[in-house]
Amino acid sequence: MNKNIVIIGAGISGCSIAYQLAKKGVKDILVIDKGYLTNGATGRCGAGVRQQWGTKANCILAKMSIDFFEHAQKELDYHDDIEFKQEGYLILSSSKEEDETFRKNVALQNELGIPSRVVNIEEALKIVPHLNPKAFTSATFCQTDGHLNPFKMTEAFYLAAQKKGVEFHFFEEVTSIDVKNHQIQAVHTSKGVYETHIVVNAAGGFSKEIGDMVGIDIPVYSEKHEILVTEPIEKMQGPMVMSFTQNIYCQQVPHGSFLMGRTTPNQPHGHDISSSWQFLDEMSKTVTRIMPKIGELRVIRQWGGSYNVSPDRQPILSDCEQLSGFYIACGFSGHGFMFSPMTGILMSELILKQPTSVDINDYLMSRFQANQPTDFEKSVV
Amino acid sequence: MNDKNIIICRCEDVTLADVLEYLNKGMTNIEDLKRQLRIGMGPCQGQTCQELLQREIARFLGVPIEQVKTQKTRPLAGGVKLKDIARGSKDE
């Protein structure tokens, strides 16, 4: 079977790329996933979308992605609700050092058109009244950040892409990729062979393994991050509350439940995404210290997922110098969901050799070969 | 009885009509249905609806119920207050 383009991975990135390519008139696109829709990192993420970043490259992707989400429901003609809620992210600072970093971040964000601001303890308590005032020293707030339902957003891209003729194969695993004369020839899966000259690696946690299939060493690794969810209650919190040093993000989703996650330090790299009691312990302690009232809620479920981490914790959106026809969208370092609209737009421009909507150099894989260090993103939980 | 009045998942208020809509769209495995409809995501974690859903999928696909995979079981087994966990781990 001949295919124009084979996209590996039906998470939010793969679906967004497929949609943008189809929108530009590309025919015979096939998206392959080894599981169900959103079974990787997308369906396991914290459902937050934010623009408060510490590097210019991340700020730009985030801002333009939020612009897309604001009209996504309409553009994708989605029958259901993507649950986009712009009630902000409140990021807590816990030290003088962090205060200073945040001030610099806000200045950068404002310069790029992101309406974030520094708030003091009093103002923060007006935004989230149940915060423990002793748990932070100041905060930053951006009203246009917020919540988006990962399952619904992905389904919206998926259905819109399907309507434009994109073919999706689920429960089908890519096993090898044929390369001849520095060109991709075919993709082999557990169910068949597809002849193609263009492959897009949007395999999330497994993108390094896909790179290995064609002899391209992608500088990323996968790492387990865990989340828990509580029983639903009446609305009591608008924004996502987040702290990098105290290691927490916590929001009440429109459904009513609270969703919260943190990083387990010293995780071995790999594909283990099992749930741990250590996470449950630490998460409970952290959240009851910062927001004691939330301690009254019962935990319903916990789960794990993969961050696919790049050396500077900024995404890799790239073609490949050593292998033409091989395109890479990975290394989102935990934020592929919120950058997904720009992933689709920029990857489609790269593949179709069109001028890119933003300067692509900061996102190319070749940035790691240059001798100058890239901006390192510190604002990650 | 109208399919819209038949509740399959009582924690999340998912009806038979909701389930049939997604089955007809081609989403015929429990993990997909769970994510799109929230079926089995409530406080009982699918203990009530799982078998009902399996039976509906089996009927729709015309396969024996044993061939319909159940959803992944996740901890906790029952709801526990965050503050009780926090306190419990402090006392250790």
pLDDT bucket at A59, cuts 50 / 70 / 90: very high
The chain-wide mean pLDDT, for chain B, equals 93
Q: Mind spelling out the 3-state secondary structure of chain A?
A: CECCEEEECCCHHHHHHHHHHHHCCCCCEEEECCCCCCCCCHHHCCCEECCCCCCHHHHHHHHHHHHHHHCHHHHCCCCCCCCCECCCEEEEECCHHHHHHHHHHHHHHHHCCCCEEEECHHHHHHHCCCCCHHHCCEEEEECCCEECCHHHHHHHHHHHHHHCCCEEECCCCEEEEEEECCEEEEEEECCCEEECCCEEECCHHHHHHHHHHCCCCCCCEEEEEEEEEECCCCCCCCCEEEECCCCEEEEECCCCCEEEEECCCCCCCCCCCCCCHHHHHHHHHHHHHHCHHHHHCEEEEEEEEEEEECCCCCCEEECCCCCECEEEEECECCCHHHHHHHHHHHHHHHHCCCCCCCCHHHCCHHHHCCCCCCCCCCCCC
Question: Based on the domain organization, do A206 and A253 belong to the same domain?
Answer: no
- The reply to whether A73 falls in a domain is no
Question: Based on the domain organization, do A118 and A237 belong to the same domain?
Answer: yes
Question: Based on the domain organization, do A230 and A360 belong to the same domain?
Answer: no
What is this structure's pTM? 0.96
- The reply to whether A64 falls in a domain is no
**B45/A300 Cβ within 8 A:** yes
* Residue of B35, B37, B67, B92 to mutate, interface with A, max A Cβ within 10 Å: B35
- The reply to whether A119 falls in a domain is yes
**B86/A288 Cβ within 8 A:** yes
- The reply to whether A180 falls in a domain is yes
Give phi and psi for A34, each to the nearest 5. -80, -10
Q: How far apart are CA A222 and CA A377, in angstroms?
A: 17
In the block, tokens 């033409």 appear at A324
CATH of the domain at A332: 3.50.50.60
A13, A204 Cβ separation under 8 angstroms: yes
Tokens of A116: 């974030």
Question: Based on the domain organization, do A273 and A289 belong to the same domain?
Answer: yes
Residues whose CB is less than 8 angstroms from the CB of residue A29 and which lie 6 or more positions away in sequence, other chains included: A3, A4, A5, A6, A7, A18, A21, A22, A161, A165, A166, A167
Residues of chain A in contact with residue B30, where contact means CB-CB under 8 angstroms, are none
Give B90→chain A minimum CA distance, Å: 8
pLDDT in tens, B30-65: 999 999 999 999 999 999 999 999 999 999 999 999
Q: How far apart are CA A123 and CA A112, in angstroms?
A: 24
Instruction: Report the percent of chain A where pLDDT is more than 70.
Output: 100
* Type of residue numbered A359: D
Residues of chain A in contact with residue B85, where contact means CB-CB under 8 angstroms, are 280-281, 284, 299
Chain B residue with minimum CA distance to A152: B36
A109, A10 Cβ separation under 8 angstroms: no
Interface of B with A (CB under 8 A): 27, 29, 31-32, 35-36, 38, 41-43, 45, 74-76, 79-83, 85-86, 89-90
The answer for A363, left when phi > 0, alpha when psi is -120 to 50, beta otherwise, is alpha
Residues of chain B in contact with residue A301, where contact means CB-CB under 8 angstroms, are 41, 45, 74-76
Looking at residue B90, what is its pLDDT? 64
Question: Based on the domain organization, do A205 and A246 belong to the same domain?
Answer: no
- The reply to whether A62 falls in a domain is no
pLDDT bucket at B91, cuts 50 / 70 / 90: low
Question: Based on the domain organization, do A228 and A298 belong to the same domain?
Answer: yes
Question: Based on the domain organization, do A199 and A165 belong to the same domain?
Answer: yes
**B79/A231 Cβ within 8 A:** yes
pLDDT in tens, A351-364: 999 999 999 999 99
Residue A239 has pLDDT above 70, yes or no: yes
Count of domains observed in chain A: 2
Question: What is the number of CB-based contacts under 8 A between chain A and chain B?
Answer: 78
A18, A166 Cβ separation under 8 angstroms: yes
Question: Based on the domain organization, do A239 and A271 belong to the same domain?
Answer: yes
**A299/B85 Cβ within 8 A:** yes
**A284/B79 Cβ within 8 A:** no
Which of A151, A288, A292 lies at the smallest CB-CB distance from B36? A151
Give phi and psi for A177, each to the nearest 5. -130, 125
Higher pLDDT, A265 or A104: A104
Question: Based on the domain organization, do A197 and A324 belong to the same domain?
Answer: yes
- The reply to whether A10 falls in a domain is yes
- The reply to whether A75 falls in a domain is no
The answer for A46, left when phi > 0, alpha when psi is -120 to 50, beta otherwise, is alpha
Q: How far apart are CA B76 and CA B56, in angstroms?
A: 27
Cα separations in angstroms, B1 against A113, A151, B51: 55, 30, 20
Question: Based on the domain organization, do A232 and A303 belong to the same domain?
Answer: yes
- The reply to whether A110 falls in a domain is yes
Question: Based on the domain organization, do A300 and A264 belong to the same domain?
Answer: yes
Give phi and psi for A283, each to the nearest 5. -60, -45
pLDDT in tens, A176-210: 999 999 999 999 999 999 999 999 999 999 999 99
Looking at residue A265, what is its pLDDT? 86
- The distance from CA A122 to its chain's CA centroid, rounded to whole angstroms, is 32
Q: How far apart are CA A172 and CA A192, in angstroms?
A: 9
pLDDT bucket at A264, cuts 50 / 70 / 90: confident
Last residue of a domain, one of A308, A323, A344: A308
pLDDT in tens, A63-82: 999 999 999 999 999 999 99
Question: Based on the domain organization, do A304 and A227 belong to the same domain?
Answer: yes
Instruction: Report the percent of chain A where pLDDT is more than 90.
Output: 97
Looking at residue A71, what is its pLDDT? 97
A114, A56 Cβ separation under 8 angstroms: no
Let me know the angle formed at the C-alpha of A241 by A236 and A242, rounded to the nearest 5 degrees. 165
A125, A232 Cβ separation under 8 angstroms: no
ipTM of the complex: 0.89
Instruction: Using the CB atoms, write b or e for A276-296: b if 16+ within 10 Å.
Output: beebbbbbbbbbbebbbebbe
The chain-wide mean pLDDT, for chain A, equals 97
Which superfamily does CATH assign the domain made up of B3-91 to? BFD-like [2Fe-2S]-binding domain (1.10.10.1100)
Last residue of a domain, one of A286, A308, A330: A308
Mean pLDDT in residue range B3-30 = 96
CA-based nearest residue to B69, from B23, B28, B22: B28
Q: Residue A334 belongs to what domain range?
A: 5-46+151-220+312-368
A72, A15 Cβ separation under 8 angstroms: no
Q: Which residues pair with residue A201 across a beta bridge? A: A8, A328
Last residue of a domain, one of A308, A328, A346: A308
